Structure 1
Amino acid sequence: MSKERARRREARMREQALLTAARASEAERRERRTARRRALASWLPQRRRRPTGILAERDRRQRGTTVALLVLVNVLVALLTDGWAWPALSLVVTLLAAPVLHTLLFRRS
């Protein structure tokens, strides 16, 4: 009976040693992978997080509205005129007038 118990204990210990070795191997592999990713990521530029909050959202919406209006004007000019001179002039004028238009549309009080 005690010999059987000793054999079972030995088998359990062997299995435990195999599991421990497998876990250690997996942990080492994960560690190496993490180190490689960290080394590679250090070469890349850091991601800039865009600001959050009510004011940042309002500013994004206002800029988007301004850009949408300017694009709409340029598309209409391009569709309604012949040639390339008027659309080119329209593009230059809208680029120069964009800050003024934005200020007029979304004046801060």
Structure 2
Amino acid sequence: MSRERARRRAEREAERAREAAVRAEREARAARRRELRGRVTAVLPRPVRVARQGGYRARRRRTQNGVLAVLWFLVQVLAWILLDSWMARLGVLLVSLLLVPVLVTIVFDRRS
């Protein structure tokens, strides 16, 4: 009976040793990866976080810009659906790109 217990204990200890070796290898790999990442990020410039303006005017301007983008996109889609000529489609694209700043200034009174 004691031989059987000793054999099972030896098997458990061997299994623990294998698990410990696997865990040590995994931790060593993670440490190498962290060290490499640290060396790489030390060379790279830190990203600058720009906080969004949260006031009423900023929200209104974001909404206006979103509406303008959707309308511009719809004009382009309609031009591509309704017009067969590539020159006409290109003309609509160029005219809309030139008119957007003018319309923004006229409609939303942005004089900056």
* Interval containing the TM-score (normalised by the shorter chain): 0.5 to 0.7
Tell me by how many angstroms 1:104 deviates: 2.2
Q: Which residue of 1 aligns with 2:41?
A: 41
Specify which of 61, 72, 82 is matched with residue 59 of structure 1.
Answer: 61
| 1:48 shift after superposition | 3.7
- Larger relative contact order, structure 1 or 2 (CA cutoff 8 Å, min sep 6): 1
Letter in 2 for 1:53: G
Q: 1:69 aligns with which of 51, 71, 83?
A: 71
Shift of 1:44: 4.5
Identical positions, percent: 35
Q: Secondary structure at the match of 2:85?
A: coil
* Stretches (4+) displaced over 3 A: 35-42
Distance 1:52 1:82 in 2: 43
Letter paired with 1:85 = M
Is 1:85 aligned to residue 90 of structure 2?
A: no
Aligned-residue Cα RMSD (Å) equals 2.9
- For structure 2, which runs of at least 5 residues remain unmatched after alignment? 1-29
Q: Which moved more, 1:54-63 or 1:81-90?
A: 54-63
